[in-house]
Structure formats: structure tokens, C-alpha cells
Amino acid sequence: MKKLSHLNEKGEARMVDVSEKGVTSRTAIAVGFVAMQPETLALVESGEAKKGDVLATARIAGIMAAKRTHELIPLCHPLAITKASVEFEASHAPAGIRVRAEVKVAGQTGVEMEALTAVSVACLTIYDMLKAADKGMVFKDIRLIEKTGGRSGTFRAEGQ
């Protein structure tokens, strides 16, 4: 079994020392899904949600979250990310919104957590913007689908 890099020899949490690692181009892509009632999706598509533009707000929230991941996840390094994008796709069967985030950096550590955080916060924002209409929304399948760069190389989730 692989040794967990965020634990020292005593099993205590630590921030990984990346000072000896080379700077490389790194990318991560994460996805998720917000399942909702068809009527709730119709509010998004028509632009009639009471709180305003749901997807524009969720996009900005996701990008902001990627930039601040180190403030939310205790052992993440602060990174000068070079790209953070959040995209949405409506789905009618099942009803909901697909969320995709891509984050890039030229650095000594990867941006997987930043991409996952962007998707998670975008999903949370969609919920917040629409909860008056549908409190039963469900987040599904939030996961990393691709990462490139760094010592471990490329990862692509099966089926991607």
C-alpha cells in the first residue's frame, strides 16, 4: 500500500514539503451533478429563479473557491493558479445540471483539490440559488476525471 504523503512517521498530519519538486505544468478536471425536479431546471433555463442568474453566480463561486482552496482544506498549499473555469450543461433525463471545472497551474504540486472544490462550491451555490423552489436537490458523482503533470503523470478516470 502507498504511504500517505500527508502523514509523518508518527502518523500525524503535516503539510507536504514540495520545495525540492520541480515546477511543471499541471491540470485537473473535476465534474459533478446537481439532480433536481424538472420544474426547477426550467427556472434555471428560463432565467426566472427568484435569486437571479443561477449559473453565473455558481460559476463565479466555483472560480473563487478554486482560488481559496488552501483556506478551506487544511493541508493544501496556496497556489498561484493560472486558469480556473467552471462550465454547466443542463440535463433533462435525469433532470439536473452537470458541472465541470478545470484548473491549471505551473507549480510544484497539483490542482486536483482546487478542481474538486470548484465543482463542490458551484453545486452548493446552485442549491442555494434554487432551494426556495426545490429543497430535495441532490449532489451526485463529484469526482476527479483527469489530472496531468507532476511526478505521478497523467490520470484519466475510466470512461473519460
**Known binding positions for substrate:** 75-77, 113-114
Closest alpha carbon to 45 in 54, 37, 36: 54
Residue 120 in 3-state DSSP?
helix
Centre a 10 Å sphere on the Cβ of residue 76 and count the other Cβ atoms it contains.
20
Active site residues: 128
Paired strand residues for 106: 25
Instruction: Tell me the Ramachandran region of residue 159: left when phi exceeds 0, alpha when psi lies from -120 to 50, beta otherwise.
Output: left
Q: How far apart are CA 22 and CA 151, in angstroms?
A: 9
